[in-house]
Structure formats: structure tokens, C-alpha cells
Amino acid sequence: MIRLFNGVIYDPAQKIDGELGEIWIKDDKIVEKPSAKKIKKLKAAGELEEIDLENKILMAGGVDIHSHIAGPKVNSGRVLRPEDHRRDNIARKGKLRSGVGSTVPSSYVTGYRYSMMGYTTVMEAAGPPMKAKHIHEEFNDLPFIDKGFLVLSGNNYFVLKFISENNMEALKNYLGWLIDVTGAYALKVVNPAGVEAWKEGKRMRGIKDKGTSFNLSPSEIMLALTEANDALNLPHAVHLHTNDLGTAGNYKTTLDTLELLKDRRLHITHIQFSSYGKNENDRIKFRTATDKVAAAVNKHPKLTVDIGQLVFGEATTMTADGVLEYNLHKLSGHKWVNTDVEMETGSGIVPMNYKKKNLVNGIQWATGMELFLKIEDPFKVFLTTDHPNAGPFTAYPWIIKLLMDKDYREEYISGMHKNIDNYTDISNLKREYSLYEIAAVSRSGPAKSLGLKNKGHLAPGADADIAVYKSLENKDIADVFAHPALVFKDGILVVEDGELKSDKLLPGRTLMIKPEYDKNIQAEIRGDFQKFYSMSIDNYAVTDNYFNKVEVVPCRSKA
Amino acid sequence: MSEVKKYENITCTFCGALCDNIEVEVESNQIKKIKNACAISRKKYMHALQDRTIPMLNGKECDYDEAISRAADILKNSKNPLIYGLSSTTAEAQKTAVKIAELSGANIDSTSSVCHGPGTMAKQLVGMVTATLGEIKNRSDLMIFWGANPVEAHPNHSKRYTMLSEGLFKKNRSDREVIVFDVRKTPTAKMADQFFEVEPGKDFELLMALRMLVNGKEPELNNNQIAGIDIEDLKVIAEKLKNAKYGSIFYGMGLTMTGAKYMNTWAAMSLIRDLNDFGRFVMMPMRGHGNVAGSEITMAWQTGYPFAVNFSRAYPRYNPGEYTAVDLLANREVDAAFIIASDPAANLPHQAAAYLDEIPTIVLDPHWNLTTDKAEVVIPSALKGITASGTVYRMDHVPLHLRSFLEDEWPDDAEALVKIGELIEND
């Protein structure tokens, strides 16, 4: 067993706010403190390792609810950008494989860099079902972190067909089947109807109009999918990338969506990209619209969001929202990849470089920051950069510093475009996050939203995924969070003094769910599948040989 | 009496189209009947169990483990080895080959560098608008084949994915217009509505002229022709391209390996990109070997780069032209070669292939070929998709899982590579 003592514990899930304490680890779990007798016995047998944390910060391992880390789109981004990697080389060391970093790191380096920040669980944000085997292959080369993937389902042929036929039972069974055969964790919905429209050469706006050959509005799709998500008792809500993402004035679409789904479980991802106002008569069309969006978020009882905070510097935008990437390509002139995936989804990639002095980029940055500071409940809003879209995940320590240190934030804003205050109100916001709130937005909150009961907290029964950071006293906050003193994954010490231990390449787990559904659905869809896909339904499922170390997370108990 | 077993939805691994609807009947560990296979595939299946390699050291038969350990020794003792091939093996083997390259500080390159690699380099410049094959089947109203001849090279391609397939919105041949650009009238051209004979080596000029016309500009002319095609014809083609609702272009090595090479594909990619301002338009490389797409995919997630990778500094570096097999061999820069599931002696330029005689060469392959003649070590292996399972990636990057349906006396590529890797790592 391991005893970590004299830690200053921040565990919002247990409402522990900086209390000096200890935790006990047995194998890969956090356990109750053993009896005095047992402790004595362990000591005598030399089976107790005691580590004095000397008042360091003790938190659960970080949980990232939305990051593009593996699969066809990420890998295409790697191939697209040799210039992204070549100055960021990681040599082989001990058992640690080599690789490259920067905004689209190789699989191994992705695992290394998350654990080197104290993160232990990451959700791959968007997987096309027919390429799910690729995602799982990469997962097996993505060490140190637990991971799962969100399966794209908002523009899927069978989804749209069953909704247009008003066949909710078939929709529910199909989604259950889709999650089952692809080894997915939750449902991802990206620009519902809009991606199909892009493939049909059409454009949509708002959530009310019907614009594709399926004759469905985004509203109808979102209502049906959120209903099916609850009928399947999925641990996570529908994970939504809103319509009109990235466009000036899109906050209205976001408010309409929140109103439409006001009594539904819902997660809106990278909401920063969905919270822009519009100036009709200004050369700069964008402004922040965070007052209205934050108010709607604060009001919604079953909603969580993550931010997708913009980070200045290189980024690689990548999304299933094909038309968005086309627009970014037209706007920037940068190289552009688009991949339409039959019957299921689209996707695109465009490299970007966000500039601190650029006014529009500054407004985007401020939009994220304002939402962080205006959304009141830290269990509702989570830290992400929509890696590598708004910036790389390696910027989290810097974002934490911006949130915790008002003076630093003000100084930083002073170096931005001189007109930034005309379009934002970030300079008026004085709130500073506490360590307790940081623990909520980076651990407890996302774990709870994902329905990961064993993660994001330090109570007995939790996975022994633990991060220890140096005390903040007289130290740079970003530096503290970038270099944890200790990180445990599954009860094994993997990072010490900010450095990975090189004696083992620890595989993480693949997290998946197995919802209940009627298996006859496969026979029901077989006819259309065999005709309109380019592969056989019998070769579609991800077979067990792709699963190395799996944890099936239970679905919610029935209401 | 031995039992007859039937297998359905078997994936043929010969070409990048990876048809996954093959039906086989097996008796006494032999293929008795085969259905849905094209002429090439049928021959491949029927001859798969013949000409099988055995473990060899310097031309003499040896134990399998002896061959494995000699291979590990060669890699350990060389200063700058080359690992090459990979396009006809599984993703599991490819991954392990990358690990071996890292452990031995090797160069690793796939046959991509002599086929569609230039297309990947073009993608790195400009990006690429593409789709899965089913998307093209379901939606494409205008199909173009450019320097590609699937009727002979990917015989079931047109039936399963393009001209003759039944799609969701496009049901048959008459729902699609087909145009072929090539230097000669191929059998594919004979199936097209229109064929344009391109002057050899002039693809770049032709593509750029079309791009100008699509963007409303007039190319400069000497004799009213570009690449042997009349400018008035080109204007009509440009209008067709602009009016397509969901156009598609399939390109072959007639584009990537002629004239301006990667700049040809750059021109095509730029044209297709621009066409998305009018309707939708996508493109697809007609990948040859069954899992050549997989070789780029597996190398990319492990190293960040698709081919031409060097590990001499214990981290991956990428430089086509320097770390590509032809260059390393022809310039005599490597001191050992490990050839995996490929036949460079038959395919590489003479000067590059001949150098394999001068350095210790290891071949891992289920069949005898010209390169095994040059090898100091021959390691036999199981046949992927027949006696070995694993993962392969189709030309549109769709992964498929192979199921073995016959027994083999030899382990598969992945297992051989894992063993070699362990011997190097635990040395």
C-alpha cells in the first residue's frame, strides 16, 4: 500500500477545499485508511510506502472531456503538417518510445504530455464510426492515460432516416448498436443537418429550417437524439457542437438551442466558438456575447459546457464540421483537408496561427475567458482548448494562471490589440478562480459530467489516478501546473518532479459503455447498409482483438 | 472425409480497393472455390500456397529461430540500416517495424515513396479534399480517372465503388458522367463518356490550364492546344467541372510518377480545392498495394510522418529524397537492409536494387521473389488475409480486419517482428 500524507487536498466532489490530509492507495484504487493493526502489519512486512507531501497540493488526476487525440482526423493532421513537428523532437528513453510534439503530437507523446501535466483521463472528441478500428489501434499506442471516444451521430444516415420516420424505438436501438459495435463512450453531435447539407452542396443557418434531402431541421434532430440518449441511460449527455459554430452572431443559435433543450441533459462543447455577437456596421464583425450565453448556461439545470479556450500561437483546427473548415480555408488561405465519410459524417482540417495582436483572435480569446468568469458553477464549465483547435492542451497550465491571477490577466490584456475593450468586457471582470474551482473545472466536473464515478475525486473507491503539485507560494502558477511533483496512474508513480519515469510504458484503459438495446436492429438496417456502405456490415464492428485493456463504465440506473 | 468450410465477407488484400465480399470454400486446408474475386484476386488466392519461402541463411535452409536471431544481429550490428517495404503487410506488423527502426536507429520507408508518396508530399503543401469510396458511390455525378486504369489494376473498383455501383442518390452508370485523361486509350477509357489523350509529361500544364479556366482566366496558347487537347474542349471540360454537384477524380501513378511528380498532384489538389467554390468535388489516389495506405497511417501516428523516416538520433526525422529507400540504396548510404513484404529487386531502379547484393539483406516474405535471391536471411511468414489475421487500410483510409481461414506452418509478419524487436531491445 501507499500512504500519501501531509497533502493539501482539493477535492470538490467531496467538498474538500484545501484541507491537510492523507490518502491511501491499494493497487489501482484509493482505499479507506486501514486499521491501526493492519498498518502495523504492513509496516512490519515492509509493504507500506509512506510519502510525505510536505503541504503540496493534492488533487485527483485531470480529466479532459474534449480533445482530439487519436483517429483518422488527428492522424491526417499529423501527416499534413511536418512543419508542426520538426522542432519538437522526443528521443527514445528507457522504455519510452520516441515521437514528435507540437499541436498534433504523435500518439506516444500525446500520452506523455498529458501525464506530465497530471492528467490521467482524456476523451477523444469525435470518431467516425466506420473508422473506429483506427481509433482503437491508436489508443493502444497512447500510453499512461485512460481514454474513450465520442461517436459521431448527428448526420448519420440511419439516425436521420429513423428520425424522419418518427421511429424512436429504432433510433434508440440503432444508437445502442452503434456505440456497442464501435466501442464508443458517448454520442457526439456536430452541426446536426449542417454536415449532410455540406455534402449535398447546401448551406444552413439556425436550427429551425429544413435544408437537406432528409427534410429535417437541426431542432428535430437534437430533440430526437437527446431523447434517445436518455432512453439508453447513457452516462454522458449528448455532446453537442452547435450549428453555426465559429460565425459572428451565432450566440442566437446557441440560445435557441439552449431554449429548445432547456429540460434535457446536454453538454455543449467548446462553447467559446458558439458565443459570438455581431456588429452590423463595423469592419470587425465579431464581438463577445457572453452575458447572454452565460446567463442561459447559469439557468439551465441539466447542462454542462466546456470552453475551448483560444491560445495564441500555432493550432491545427480539425472537426467533423466539414463546411466550417472550408470557411476557415477561404478565410485564411491555409492548406485544407476535407474527408467526407459515407453515411456518417464529414470532417476537415486547417492549420491556424492565432495572434495576440489580431483583434478577432483577441475577441475569441476574451470570449472564452469571459465565459469562464461569468458561468457561476464550476461544476458546469470545464477547461478545454478543444485541442488542437483553439490551441494545444499543453496550454492548460497557462490558462489556469490566467483564471487564478487577475493581475496577470490584466497585464496580459494590456499587450493585446488596443481596441479590444470595444468588443469585449474581459477587462471589467475581476473574478479569480481558487484552487478548489480549478480542481472542479479540470477534474471533478468533467468526470461527473461524463458519468465516470471512479474518476475526478479522491474518495475511497476512486481510481488511484492522482496529481501532486508544488504549493503555489512564491511560484509561477503555470509552472506549478506544468510540472507536477508526483503523478500516480492506477496507483503507479509515473511522473516525478515533472519528468516521466522511463522504466515503464504504462498502457491506459479504453473506456466504453455497453447500453441495452434490441439486437434485431442489425437485421433491420442490413439491407440499406449492404447497399449504400462500401463495406459489409459483417466487417463493421470493432472486434475484441482491438481491445487491449478495457473498462466498461456502467450506464445510469433506469429512472 | 474432410469437412468443407465456407467463409463469407473475406477481405482480399491484393490491391488498395480491399474488396471485403469474397466468399471462399475450404477443404483440407486448401481453397476449393472462390466467389466475387476479380481476375487478379482469383489468381492471387489460387497461387497463395505455392512458392512459399522457408527460413534460409546464406542460401542454406535453417531453423526459423536461427533466421530471426540472425536478423536481429544484423540490425544490431549495422550503423545505418534501412527497413523497407511494408505495403503488403498488416498494420500490426507495420507498427512493430517502426519500433524496430527506432530501436536500431534505422531508416524506415515504404513503397509509398515510389508510388503515391509524391501525392502525400503534395498534400503537405496544399491539403486534399477527399471522401470515402461509398460517399463517391452514393453522390458523385461526375467521375474522372486521371492516369489511372482501374479496369486493369483494380478490376472490381468500378462495380463496387464508382461507375457501375448502386448508390444512395446515384443508382447506375447513366446517373454519372465519366471522363478519362490518360496518355493512351486504356480499357477504363473505353468505359468513359469522354476520353482525352494527354501528351506524356504534360499533366501539370493541363491541370493548371483547367484551374485557370475554372477561375475565369485564359491560359496563354501557342497552337490552341494544351497537352495535346484543344482549348475549346478544355473550356467545355472546365464548365463541366464547375457544374458538377459532387465531382470525383481518381488519380494513379500516371500523375504521381511522371513529369513534375509531386507538383502534378499539387496542381490536381489545387484544382479540386478550387472546384469546391462551385459545387462539391473530391479526389482519391488509386493506391496499389493492399495496405500501402496503412503504412503511411501507422507510421504517422507513431512518428508524426508518413514515410522516409530516420531514427539515427533516436527520434524520428522526415526527409523524402534523403531517407527514401531509392536514395539511400543508390547513394550507398545504408549498411544493411530489412525488406518486409515487398520486392525491391523487381521494382526499384537497377542501381538501388543492385546495392542489396553488397550489404546484409534480410527478407521477411511468404513467397520467393527476386529480392529473396539477394538475401542473406530469408524469414518465411503466414499469408495475410488467408493464414494470418490483422488490420489493413483501404485507399480511402477505411480500416478492415482480416480473418485467417487456413492454417499455416509459419508465424505471421507481426509475430516475427515482435521477436526480432525483443531480441534487439533485450540485448
Q: B103 touching A, CB under 8 A?
A: yes
Question: How large is the greatest C-alpha to C-alpha distance in chain A, in angstroms?
Answer: 78
Kindly indicate the confidence band of residue B115, based on its pLDDT and cuts at 50, 70 and 90.
confident
Q: Report CB contact under 8 Å: A338, B161.
A: no
Nearest to B385 by CA among B416, B365, B406, B366: B406
Mean pLDDT across the stretch A365-382?
A: 98
Q: Are A521 and A170 in contact (CB under 8 A)?
A: yes
Examine the pLDDT at B361 and tell me if it is beyond 80. Answer: yes
From chain A residues 376-395, the ones with a CB under 8 A of any chain B CB are: none
- Terminal-to-terminal C-alpha distance of chain B: 50
Task: Choose among A85, A157, A338: nearest Cβ to B304.
Answer: A85
Q: Which residues pair with B6 in a beta bridge?
A: B25
Q: Please list every residue in chain A whose beta carbon sits closer than 8 Å to the beta carbon of residue B94.
A: none
Rounded to a whole number of angstroms, the distance from the CA of B369 to the nearest CA of chain A is 31
Q: Chain B neighbours among A 509-538 (CB < 8 Å)?
A: 531-536, 538
Nearest to A121 by CA among A478, A484, A414, A465: A465
Q: Which amino acid is at B118?
A: P
Helix (H, G, I), strand (E, B) or coil at B13: coil
**Do the Cβ atoms of A232 and A516 come closer than 8 Å?**
yes
Give the DSSP letter string of A480-542.
HHHS-SEEEETTEEEEETTEE-TT---B-PEEE------TTHHHHHHHHHHHHSSS-GGGTS-
What is the per-residue pLDDT across B119-142, written as a single tens digit (0 to 9) for each? 999 999 999 999 999 999 999 999
> Do A401 and A477 fall into the same domain?
no
Mean pLDDT of A228-237: 98
Q: Give the whole-angstrom CA distance, residue B288 versus residue A400.
A: 49
- DSSP letters, B294-357, are HHHHHHHHHHSSSS-EE-TTSS-EE-TTTSSHHHHHHTT--S-EEEES--HHHHS-HHHHHGGG
A501: cell is 519515469
Interchain contact, A98 vs B126, CB within 8 Å = no
Interface test with B, best of A83, A317, A535 (most B CBs within 10 A): A535
Residue A29: strand pairing partners: A26, A463
Q: Work out the average pLDDT over A222-243.
A: 98
Q: What is the CATH number of domain B53-114+291-383+411-425?
A: 3.40.50.740
Q: What is the ipTM of this complex?
A: 0.97
**pLDDT score, position A559:** 56
What band does A373 get if pLDDT is binned at 50, 70 and 90?
A: very high
Give the chain B residue whose CA is nearest to the CA of A342: B135
Q: In the beta sheet, which residues pair with residue B78?
A: none
User: In terms of domains, do A114 and A68 share one?
Assistant: yes
CATH of B117-285, one of 3.30.56.10, 3.30.70.640, 3.40.220.10, 3.40.228.10: 3.40.228.10
CB contact under 8 Å between B399 and A213, yes or no, is no
> Which tens digits make up the pLDDT trace of A525-554?
999 999 999 999 999 999 999 999 999 999
Between positions 329 and 348 of A, the ones with CB within 8 A of B are: 329-330, 335-343
Digit-coded pLDDT (tens) for A315-336: 999 999 999 999 999 999 999 9
Three-state DSSP at A91 gives: coil
Predicted local confidence at residue A211, as pLDDT: 87
Task: Say how far apart CA B232 and CA B292 lie, in whole Å.
Answer: 39
Is there a single domain that holds both residue A71 and residue A191?
A: yes
Nearest to A201 among B102, B168, B280 (CB): B280
Do residue A398 and residue A421 come from a single domain? yes
- Write out residues 70-89 of A within 8 Å (CB-CB) of B: 70, 72, 74-76, 78-82, 84-86, 89
Q: Tell me whether residues B134 and A199 touch, CB distance under 8 A.
A: no
Starting from the edge strand earliest in sequence, which strands make up the sheet with B30-35, in order? B4-10, B22-27, B30-35
Q: Considering only CB atoms, which chain B residues are within 8 Å of A78?
A: 300-301, 304-305
Amino acid B1: pLDDT: 56
* Interface touch A79/B300, C-beta < 8 Å: yes
Residues of B in contact with A75 (CB under 8 A): 297, 300-301
The alpha carbon of residue B124 is apart from the nearest alpha carbon of chain A, in Å, by: 5
End position of a domain, from candidates A429, A450, A471 = A450
Does one domain contain both A15 and A151? no
Domain-wise residue ranges, chain B: 53-114+291-383+411-425, 117-285
Among A137, A201, A338, whose Cβ lies nearest the Cβ of B245? A201
Q: Which of A89, A130, A336 sits opposite B127 (nearest CB)?
A: A336
Q: Chain A contacts of B404, Cβ < 8 Å?
A: none
Whether B393 contacts chain A with CB within 8 A: yes
| pLDDT tens track for A391-417 | 999 999 999 999 999 999 999 999 999
User: Residue B427's pLDDT is what?
Assistant: 82
Q: How far is A303 from chain B (nearest CA, A)?
A: 34
Quick one: pLDDT band at residue B222, thresholds 50, 70, 90?
Answer: confident
Measure the CA–CA gap between B106 and A82, rounded to whole angstroms: 19
DSSP B36-71: S--HHHHHHHHHTTSSB---EETTEE--HHHHHHHH
C-beta of residue B131 within 8 angstroms of C-beta of residue A340: yes
Across B58-73, average pLDDT: 98
Chain position carrying cell 418518427? A166
- A76, A157, A199: residue with CB nearest B280: A199
Mean pLDDT for the stretch of residues B1-18? 92
Q: What is the mean pLDDT of chain A?
A: 97
* Residue A490 in domain: no
Do A266 and A159 share a structural domain? yes
Contact A341 B318 (CB under 8 A): no
- Tell me what the mean pLDDT of segment B73-83 comes to: 98
Identify whether A516 is part of a domain: no
Q: Where in the sequence is the domain holding A470, given as residue range(s)?
A: 2-60+455-484
Instruction: State the nearest Cα–Cα gap between A419 and chain B, in angstroms.
Output: 34
**Domain check: are A419 and A382 in the same one?**
yes
CA distance B140 to chain A (A): 10
Q: What are the residue ranges of helices labelled H in A189-250?
A: 194-199, 218-231
Total domains present in chain A = 2
A123 and A271: one domain? yes
Mutation target for A interface from B215, B398, B405: give the one with most A CBs within 10 A. Answer: B398
Using CA atoms, how far residue B68 sits from A466, B110, B268, B407, B410, in Å, is 42, 21, 45, 21, 12
Same domain, A338 and A472: no
Evaluate whether B388 touches B365 at the Cβ level (below 8 Å).
Answer: no
What nine digits make up the cell of A153? 451521430
pLDDT in tens, A272-304: 999 999 999 999 999 999 999 999 999 999 999
Please give the Cα distance from B213 to B257 (Å, whole number): 25
> Whole-prediction pTM value?
0.97
User: Residue B257's pLDDT band (boundaries 50, 70, 90)?
Assistant: confident
In-domain check, residue A510 = no
Distances (CA, A) of B413 to A234, B93, B399, B416: 40, 6, 18, 5
> Is the same domain home to A470 and A333?
no
User: Helix (H, G, I), strand (E, B), or coil: what is residue B224?
Assistant: coil
Q: At what angle do helices A218-231 and A157-164 cross, to 10 degrees?
A: 100
All cell numbers assigned to B90: 498488416
Q: What Rg, from alpha-carbon coordinates, does chain A have?
A: 23
| Same domain? A267 vs A289 | yes
Same structural domain for residues A195 and A309? yes
CATH number at residue A41: 2.30.40.10
A337 contact residues in B (CB cutoff 8 A): 123, 127-130
- Give per-residue pLDDT as tens, A191-215: 999 999 999 999 999 999 998 999 9
Residue of A86, A130, A546 with shortest CB distance to B398: A130
Whole-number Å distance between alpha carbons of B102 and B123 = 26
pLDDT-derived band at B259, boundaries 50, 70, 90: confident
A550 occurs within a structural domain: no
- Give B2's pLDDT tier (boundaries 50, 70, 90): confident
Q: Determine phi and psi for B238, rounding to 5 degrees.
A: -60, -40
Residue of A195, A534, A546, A547 for testing the chain B interface, max B β-carbons within 10 Å: A534
